[in-house]
Amino acid sequence: MIRSLVEECERTGHALIEIAEGGTRGRVNRELVRAIAGHGLFDRLFGESGVTATDLCAIRQGLARVCTEAETAFAVQGLGAIPIHLHASPELRDQVMPGIRRGESVAAFALTEPTAGSDAASLSTVAERDGNGFRITGEKTFISNAPDADVYTLFARTTQDAGGRGVTAFVVTSDLDGLVGEPIEMLSPHPLGRIHLDGVYVPEGNVLGEIDHGFRVAMQTLDLFRPSVGAFALGMAEAALRVATGHATTRTAFGTPIADFQGISHQLANVRLDIEAAELLVYSAAAAHDDGDGESLTGKAAMAKLHATETAQRAVDTAIQVLGARGLQADSTLAHLYLEVRAPRIYEGTSEIQRNIIARELFNGRL
């Protein structure tokens, strides 16, 4: 079942490559988002029965094997909109979600701030009461799909000195007075930027979940998505290994395919071993989420993300070493993956944070 969905999404990725390549670097490719919707992937994500973490992982793994731009566009739309799908009032959900599901409206998840990255509970963006709503002031940075997004799931502090307990989640639309933004040019080509909020008025009906309990909304979303970051990395690692093994079996040196040299074959064998372990970790974490096993989920998700993202980094680096200069050509698959593979070790919890989580869960007896 998992494998068939991965392969189906790999075929979908092939169909999206041309549209993905037609986008503008660093800006939202709206044609791509609509095409993803046209292939039914957002229907899977926002269906009435709800997406499972296992299906989310399979979709991201399959897309990442062939089209990382499509994978990222799908994932970021999901990250920005799942909190709305799960926590908005029926009226707000009916107002916002149809356009997102059709790919006509672009969503974003706005949590990170200039001084609040790994320590997400230290948000300084504030939402102050104003009549029947709130005025939000602050800055969000390194936000995927910003500044082009139409809808932001945005987290702001509603109670001072309360840590994660004083944060509220809001739906903030880009057409509101006082909201401006600009893109940030990154190593990879994906849309990413910052937004500034200067007294942006948001009605109370745009609150997601309960006031002062927005951190729970954020963590529930990240619990769903963190194993799938590992799946994204897994797909990239598989793509790199596929290129490297194809090259090693056809490239000859000293009269023999270079796959016959242990210096080459053992490196690729190690990559295959790491990929197999990463896949088991990713789908074990996804199963823990889907089974409601909250006790083991946090540690398993951290292990999956950590091992899969670091495996992908090694896989791409090893593949480039096997191909030599060919792997460094600017238009090569591996050069593209080399730019893509670094970021997942940072976002949604750095590798160092994942190790902290794993150690904490280990010593608390949950791993």
- Give catalytic residues, as residue numbers: 348
Ordered alpha helix ranges (H), the chain? 2-21, 30-38, 41-45, 53-64, 68-87, 90-101, 214-250, 262-290, 294-323, 333-340, 351-363
- Per the omega criterion (within 30 degrees of 0), is the bond before 147 cis? yes
- Residue 55 sits at the vertex; the CA angle it makes with 52 and 56, to the nearest 5 degrees, is 85
201 dihedral zone (left: phi>0; alpha: psi -120 to 50; beta) = beta
Tally of CB atoms within 10 A around 330: 6
Buried b (16+ CB within 10 A) or exposed e, 249-287: eeeeeeeeebbeeeebbebbeebeebbeebbebbbebbb
Cα 113 to chain center, whole Å? 17
